Structure 1
Amino acid sequence: MPDGILEAVSKRPSIPCGESPFVLAVGRLNVRKNLARLIEAFVRVARDDPKPDLVIAGCVDGAYVPITVPDDMTARIHFLGHVTDNELRWLYENCDLFVCPSLDEGYGLPIIEANILGAQVIASDIQVFRESNIAVGYFDPRSVDEIASAIRHGLDGINSTVAGHLTWEGVVRNIRDVIYNARRHSNAPKP
């Protein structure tokens, strides 16, 4: 994790949502990040619950299809674009739920950052996120129903078995364990 986020001084970004709870997603805006399904799932949740907003931080990058937000949800779904490390730290520290609906990830740094800074994390049920072992709930990223259900459970606090907040040293230890176990199972030479 870049030191910037750990050394940053928390600063509230300019977001139109007030004191209401908010769900946070962070990452580049591209098809792989699965934001269209996240928004569709959030809309289902928001139509039943008037409190939460959805905040998405990140810039357009790569293959991106503009996402249509229903007219009745434009005041509750906020695209921030690029945020500074100070603003990102504030978002992680103050969100009620961090969600990462990616279809595929190389490592998934945002869920590590969110966890280290105290956010409750739900994530796609993909191998890289399972290996990090920090999410309180996993969902099929191709299922809007499962994403919506995970958001509801996360906001309701039903998931009480938080895997624990990691330190950066814990993240490195997890990576080493995964590499060691992969080598052991493939009969490759040990480090």
Structure 2
Amino acid sequence: MKFPHTGLYYYCQNLGEAINQLLADEHQPLMQMYLPPRKKLILSPEPYHLIERKWHKFIQPFLMDCRIWHAPFQSGRILPNKKRFPKLKVVLTVHDLNVLHEGKPEAVQQKSLAHTQSLIDQSDAVVCISEFTKNDVLTHCSVGDKPIQVIYNGQNKLPDAIGDVVAYKPKREFLLGIGYLNQKKNFHVLLPLLQDNPDLELIVIGHQDDPDYVARMEQSAQKMGVQERMHLLGRVSESDKVWYLRHCKALVHPSLAEGFGLPVIEAMQFGKPVFLSTLTSLPEVGGSAAFYFPDFEASTIQEVYQQGMRAYGTTVSQEQIIQNAARFDWNKSAQHYLALYQSLME
């Protein structure tokens, strides 16, 4: 949770809070959340927060009475030494094996897989956040006889938008993209929509972690003559994100690889039309309430967008979109995780 405004950050925050709410309702001891140093956090302090200290490398007194350790990410760096704590059970959540779907060099793929496999080997149960990820794990990793199941993420708790947007207020109707700005997110394939629809702007919010990709997008937009209607805003506040979600014409998410795709259901809970790639977990999350790009040719992007906007409100209703988002609920996720924890302690 050192990196706010990311899917993993909200996964940890929302799941932890949902589990502790269920435990509090049952008058049970709360789950401790092991967090990075306080200076790197934006969370308000809570009694159940356990802050990482440098001396934890040598001694972890908090593990003496710990029954379940939940490692929330397949590339995590912190896992208890089970030789020292043989009664401790470890649950590992695998969000994705996206390294296999991003065109990375074979050596990079194998290094990432080896690390994930080492965590699986040290775990007692594995959770995946989509069926697609589960299939990837079973295909490329060795789980043995460990239980493996899918527990979906829930909807993020979005704050109410108060007042006007701060970052940038569009002058026209706009399409919204949310996510890290890099090659994997594939936002550049959307630029032809601006060429064919002069009444539209494109706004992309999220950390710009690949400067070369950002520069290529800007160069492409300039060549197409649409640079004034493309706005790559980087990180914005949560209230600004909510404003963009409430006011956008549609969410566009042509990603090449996702473990889940939280922006999809963030937009859907507002009844917005959502346009996705057909890759990895996205069809699983968007269901029949989303529109899909079968490829990324400019003509296909434009055709799917036009057909989808014509279908929006008729064959695909706002209510259908909202109901699809409602399938994903942190309270349900927390119930499934608690049941898994309990099964390992029996």
State TM-score, norm by structure 2.
0.44
Name the SS of the counterpart of 2:190 in structure 1. Answer: helix
| Percent of aligned pairs with the same amino acid | 24
Distance apart, 1:136 and its partner CA = 3.1
Moved more, 161-170 or 118-127: 161-170
Aligned to 1:189: none
Letter in structure 2 aligned against 1:140: P
Supply the RMSD in Å over aligned alpha carbons. 2.9
Tell me, yes or no, if the aligned pair for 1:33 and 1:103 is still in contact at 8 Å: yes
Shift of 1:26: 0.8
Aligned to 2:196: 45
Partner of 2:20 in structure 1? Answer: none
Give the CA deviation at 1:36.
Answer: 1.7
Kindly report which structure 2 residues correspond to 1:58-97, keeping only aligned pairs within 5 A, or say none.
Answer: 58-62=206-210, 64-65=212-213, 66=215, 67=217, 68=219, 69-70=221-222, 72-97=225-250
Which segments of 5 or more consecutive residues in structure 2 lack a partner in the other structure? 1-6, 15-155, 334-346
- Per-residue displacement from partner, 1:59-108 (whole Å, max 9, x unpaired)? 21258522121262122111111111100001011001111010111110
CA contact (8 A) 1:23 1:53 kept: yes
Larger deviation, residues 26-35 vs 143-152? 143-152
Tell me the TM-score normalized by structure 1: 0.75
Equivalent pairs counted in the alignment come to 170
Indicate how the Cα distance of structure 1 residues 93 and 16 shifts in structure 2: closer, same or farther if over 3 A, else same: closer
* In structure 1, C-alpha distance between the alignment counterparts of 2:264 and 2:212, rounded to whole Å: 21
In structure 2, what is the Cα distance between the partners aligned to 1:82 and 1:124? 23
* CA–CA separation in structure 2 for the residues paired with 1:25 and 1:169: 21
Runs of 5+ in structure 1 lacking a partner?
177-191
Alpha-carbon distance in 1 for matches of 2:324, 2:298: 32
Distance 1:135 1:76 in 2: 28
Q: 1:1-191, aligned counterparts within 5 Å?
A: 2=10, 5-10=157-162, 11-15=164-168, 17-18=170-171, 20-39=172-191, 41-46=192-197, 50-62=198-210, 64-65=212-213, 66=215, 67=217, 68=219, 69-70=221-222, 72-132=225-285, 133=287, 135-154=289-308, 156-159=309-312, 160=314, 161-162=316-317, 163-166=320-323, 170-172=327-329
- Whichever residue aligns with residue 99 of structure 1, its letter is V
Displacement of 1:43: 3.3
Distance change (3 Å), C-alpha of 1:36 and 1:169: closer
Q: Does the 8 Å CA contact 1:29/1:64 hold for their aligned counterparts?
A: no
1:31–1:63 CA contact under 8 A, matched in 2:
no
Q: Which of structures 1 and 2 has the larger relative contact order (alpha carbons within 8 angstroms, sep 6+)? A: 1
Q: Contact conserved, 1:59 with 1:82, CA < 8 A, in 2?
A: yes
Q: Name which one, 1 or 2, has greater alpha-carbon Rg.
A: 2
Separation in structure 1 between the aligned mates of residue 211 and residue 231 of structure 2, nearest angstrom: 21
1:166-188 deviations in Å (ceiling 9; x for gaps):
48752149x97xxxxxxxxxxxx
d(CA) in 1 for partners of 2:265 and 2:278? 15
Cα distance in 1, alignment partners of residues 210 and 229 from structure 2: 26
Q: Distance in 1 between the 2:211 and 2:228 partners? A: 26
